[in-house]
Structure 1
Amino acid sequence: MARKISFINYKGGVGKTSLIVNVASCLAKAGKRVLLFDFDTQSNASIWLLRLERWNKINNSSEGAVYSIFEPGTVRVKDLIIKDVVEDKNGDKLLPGLDLVPTTFNLVDLEAEFQGKPGCPPYLMFQQQLAEVEDNYDFILFDCPPNILRASQCGVFCSNEIYVPANPDALSLIGFTLLVEKLVKFHRLSASFRTAEMGAPALVNGIIFNSIKANVDIEVPKMRMQLRMNQFRTVKRVAQNAKIFNTQIRDAMVVRRAVTLGLPVILVGQEAEQEDNVAQDYRDAVTELMNHSS
């Protein structure tokens, strides 16, 4: 059974997309079958992995992106999966095992214009279609925007685990706190649609400090985050095994270079090794992730 994981924090700008893209890539490099869903209207993960030229074709055609499954017609999740998404400019596959369901800017219509069927919210529609493909994967990852609106709800409803990318600052702590409060409300709202096969609603399983600048002391922010997590654990609002990851992802220019190249950091090459080996940070985070679950 696939591990289904949402990456989300109510604070934006925490490097969520860089974290999920590189975690997904390291999982695939380790031989896992990975499906990444981009549920963030900004489309950063899709543009990164497809490169702008390939993504523009989808954006301009209004077909092939995740919003298509919510429009009238016969398009389903299984029709949107781009297999082995990472390619070089000649179309040669560079990272077998990493598949993508992309998004485009029209996903914003899910929040504003989508009507849907009475009694069948978007997250239920999505869950029913995801069930058709999830057995093909070891990991299914959801890149969620910083809210619990309709797009995020699709990922959160289907997930078994939630991980929170964070920076060592007060706003990340506030974002984590707000996320937990919103999750409680959403789980109550969606409870009647859950089946026994889906298991319990996903809670926060971990916090990953990400994009840490050089010479920044994170011990005090980490202590405050740990205190808040302990408080939530006491009232069972996070998973009982929830933790702050030992791995801390450093900020490095190679991450921005990787975006420009349309490659995950592990495929950029020697630059990653020269910049304090941030590629190893991602590998270490993946090792922790594989050893830690709900």
Structure 2
Amino acid sequence: MPRKISFINYKGGVGKTSLVVNLAAQLAQQGKRVLLVDLDAQSNSSIWLMRLDRWNPLNTAETGHLFSVFDPGISTLKDCVVKDVVRGKEGEALLPGLDLIPTTFTLVDLEHDFEAPDGRPAFAIFQEQLAEIENDYDFILFDCPPNVLYAAQCGIFCSSEIYVPANPDALSLIGFTLLIGKLQQFNHICASFRVAGMQPTAEVKGVIFNAIKSNVDIDVPKMRMQFRINQFKNQGRVAKDARIFDTHIRDAIIVRRAVTLGLPVHLVGKLKGEESVKDDYAMVAQELSGETQEQS
């Protein structure tokens, strides 16, 4: 059974997509079979990895993207998988093993137009379809929006673990605190929809400090975040082994260049002084791979 992991913070702008895309790429580089599911209607992961030349036609199509799976008879998740999504100029696969379920701007309609014929919530439909393909992968990573609405619920309901990207600032701490409360509410609502064979309800397992500017002292923000994690541990609201990752990802111009090129950072040509952030992503992936998970 794969490790299914949601990345989410109630605060936007924490570099979540750059973290998820590059962790997925690093895991694939290690030989893991990885599926990245873009659950954010902004479609940043999808646009990054497909580039606009492949994503633009999808944005006007009726099928092949995440929103279409909620319209009976249109698509299933299996139909939407973009195999070996990272491609070169000649269409060659540059990173075999990294697949994508893309989204488009239409996903925003899920929040106000969705009504299943059988009355089931979106997350239950999504879980049923994901179960048909999940064993093709070692890791399934969910790029969630900064909320716990319908799209994010799909990832959270299916996940075995949750990680919170954060910046070293007060707003990230507030977003983390809000997220824990919203997760508790959702887990209570969705409990009756869990089916045999699903892993236990996902818990927040860690916080990853991301996109840290040079010369920024993170000791105090890190201390405050650790204090909050300890509070939530004592209340049973996060995993008992929840922690702040040892590796902190630095901000770097190469990340913006990677988006423009439609490549993960480690496939971008060398820039002077930019190797550090590549190493950061590799080390976070190594920490993530070292996390243990009890299999159901």
Bin for the TM-score computed over the shorter chain: over 0.9
Shift of the alpha carbon at 1:60?
A: 1.8
Q: Is the 8 A contact 1:205 1:293 kept in 2?
A: no
State the alpha-carbon separation in 2 of the partners of residues 238 and 255 from structure 1. 31
Superposed CA RMSD in Å reads 1.0
Contact 2:14–2:166 (Cα < 8 Å) also in 1: yes
C-alpha distance in structure 2 between counterparts of 1:164 and 1:62, whole Å? 32
Equivalent position of 1:279 in the other structure: 278
Show the counterpart of 2:247.
247
Q: Give % identity.
A: 63
Letter in 2 for 1:261: L
Give the TM-score of the pair, scaled to structure 2. Answer: 0.97
Contact 1:9 / 1:165 at 8 angstroms: preserved in 2? yes
CA distance in 2, matches of 1:166, 1:204: 13
1:45 and 1:268 map into 2 onto residues whose CA distance is: 17
SS in 1 for 2:205: strand
Amino acid at match of 2:285: V
Equivalent residue number for residue 230 of structure 1: 230
Match of 1:50 in 2: 50
How many residue pairs end up in the alignment?
A: 293
Q: CA deviation at 1:180?
A: 0.4
Q: Residues 276 and 86 of structure 1: is their aligned pair in 2 closer, same or farther, counting only changes over 3 Å?
A: closer
Following superposition, the deviation at residue 196 of structure 1 comes to 4.0
Unaligned runs of 5+ in 2: none
SS of residue paired to 2:32:
coil
Give 2:289's aligned residue.
Answer: 290
Confirm whether residue 109 of structure 1 aligns to residue 116 of structure 2. no
TM-superposed deviation, 1:275: 1.5
Q: TM-score, normalised by structure 1?
A: 0.98
- Asked if the contact 2:20–2:143 (Cα under 8 Å) also holds between the matched residues in 1, the reply is yes
Q: How does 1:3-22 map to 2 (within 5 A)?
A: 3-22=3-22
1:150-169 correspondence to structure 2 within 5 Å: 150-169=150-169
Following superposition, the deviation at residue 118 of structure 1 comes to 4.2
Which shifted more, 95-104 or 114-123?
Answer: 114-123
Q: Distance in 2 between matches of 1:276 and 1:23?
A: 16
In the TM superposition, residue 276 of structure 1 has moved relative to its aligned partner by: 4.6
Q: Which amino acid aligns with 2:89?
A: K
Aligned-pair CA distance for 1:74? 4.4
Letter of the 1:198 partner, please give it.
M
Q: Is this contact kept in 2: 1:7–1:164, CA < 8 A?
A: yes
Q: Which of structure 1's runs of 4+ aligned residues deviate more than 6 A?
A: none
Aligned mates of 2:74, 2:16 — CA distance in 1: 32
Query: Matches of 2:195 and 2:93 in 1, distance apart?
Result: 38
Structure 1 unpaired stretches of 5+: none
Write the letter of the residue equivalent to 2:30.
A
User: In structure 1, the residue corresponding to 2:59 is in which secondary structure?
Assistant: helix
